[in-house]
Structure 1
């Protein structure tokens, strides 16, 4: 007689779907846009309440400011002011980045260069550009050069200091490892120092951009016929508080746009380095 047996099999486990650890990208983006919209609406509401309390002679309401912006845009004043200020900022800031980054690399890598330049950098960076406005006009005239030089002065020290800090923050073990593998000084700079310093350079560039907006207003108030700073000062002389608000808000919007563009560029450049800006 033969006995047949059946092998016991373990009960099959029910299939479970993997949990989603994050929210959908589209939903997160909508949530961010919604929060921004709420913040803007709250700000407009507070602005309206303050304008109602103090009156149009002191605070222009959002409606009055919008009407003034349309008025200035219609005759070309606003557009010309934005173009003039943007051109001066971008040229001066760009020159500051182009000069400040290489100088910062030299200061961070070569001790004798750091010792020679550090006293001047530490001295001049504490003198605000506003203090040089009169001298810039006397030496360089009321043309574009004086304003571009002031913005360059604003940007170059910030980029230089951030770049040199990035160079000196490079891990010493990385430098020794590259040297032990036979890398030349130039290869160490290209493959170790520069990739580690790029985040510092971009951060310095963003900070320099913000300070450039601070400088352009004072420079244009003193020596410019066209520009957002000139628009604000001229509006004050005419008693047009609404025009003043237009100039101030335009500066803020312009700075926000430029900073967002820099952030997008920085994120793309730094993606391969695993850094965030």
Structure 2
């Protein structure tokens, strides 16, 4: 039996993968990376080509060139940058606040039975209520400033991440926890060296879902009460039947969401190198 419980826990948790295990899976993933990149680039061009063909059929859909020109006009006037900064600030503020609270709450619910009993009914209750349904109430209570928009984004991100964190804790292999206890590790050591690493993939999945919810929520909030933002600009374009501007807003939101999602994926790959992948 090891004299150092922390070292024993790390060994038990399998941080040194066996031959042909996670290391081989990571190597296989790296080998597939170039082909995946080629497929990603190919599908982008195929999508643009399909979009261009549809615009030629007579449907009231602007062509990629028209959307590009509208985006250039908006960027040259400074409107696009102002809207991006406004929406991005709201999304990042609400998302970071929601995630920062969701992770400790999820850990509490998963690790302590009393916390689960007190908090889970409320979390499940509000999870079934769409954050968009909270927008009218938030506006009435908080006004039409930034607070209600950030609050509903915070709520959307929190509810997505807290459930994933909770599931990550309760699904930790009990064998690892029991082995750590047999080796003399205290609860704090078990939590830090076994539970947190095992829950990390679940947390990051919840963050990715929460990020998508944050973008969807901010656009809806800006449609109701805003003077700046991508959602507000799309609403104004809809009034004047300005389809290219609407498409610019959709593309910008999609691009920012994609880039932010890829950032989270990169963080996940760094933090979960021990995890076997297909």
Regarding TM over 0.5, the answer is yes
Q: How many residues align?
A: 252
Of residues 231, 234, 245 in structure 2, which corresponds to 1:232? 234
Taking the aligned partners of 1:96 and 1:238, their CA distance within structure 2 comes to 36
SS in 2 for 1:54: coil
Hey, what's the Cα distance between the residues in 2 that align with 1:127 and 1:194?
Answer: 29
- In the alignment, the residues of structure 2 paired with residue 112 and residue 234 of structure 1 have an alpha-carbon distance, to the nearest angstrom, of 49
1:36 to 21, 36, 40: 40
Contact 1:136 1:146 in 2 (8 A): yes
- Asked if 1:122 is matched to 2:136, the reply is no
Measure, in 2, the Cα distance between the counterparts of 1:28 and 1:193.
31
Query: 1:103-122 counterparts in 2 under 5 A?
Result: 103-122=105-124
Q: 2:176 and 2:163 mapped to 1: Cα distance?
A: 22
CA distance in 2, matches of 1:165, 1:134: 31
2:55 to 46, 51, 61: 51
Contact 1:199 1:275 (8 Å CA) reproduced = no
> Is the Cα contact below 8 Å between 1:47 and 1:61 reproduced in 2?
yes
Where relative contact order (Cα < 8 A, 6+ residues apart) is larger, the structure is: 2
Is the partner of 1:164 in helix, strand or coil?
Answer: helix
Provide the rounded CA distance (Å) in 1 between the counterparts of 2:276 and 2:138.
39
CA positional deviation for 1:90? 0.8
- Asked if the contact 1:81/1:231 (under 8 Å) is kept, the reply is yes
1:256 is matched with 258
Alignment partner, residue 223 of structure 2: 221
Q: Single out whichever of 115-124 and 28-37 deviates more from structure 2.
A: 28-37
Shift of 1:275: 5.0
The secondary structure found in structure 2 opposite 1:60 is coil
Partners of 1:49 and 1:159 in 2: how far apart?
A: 40
Q: Per-residue deviation at 1:242?
A: 0.6
The whole-number CA distance in structure 2 between the counterparts of 1:50 and 1:166 is: 44
TM-score after normalising by structure 2: 0.86
- The answer on whether the counterparts of 1:155 and 1:212 sit within 8 Å (CA) in structure 2 is yes
TM-score scaled to structure 1, two decimals?
Answer: 0.86
Q: Secondary structure at the match of 2:66?
A: helix
Structure label with greater radius of gyration: 1
Provide the rounded CA distance (Å) in 1 between the counterparts of 2:195 and 2:33: 36
Deviations 1:108-143 (A, max 9, x none): 011111111111111110111111111111111211
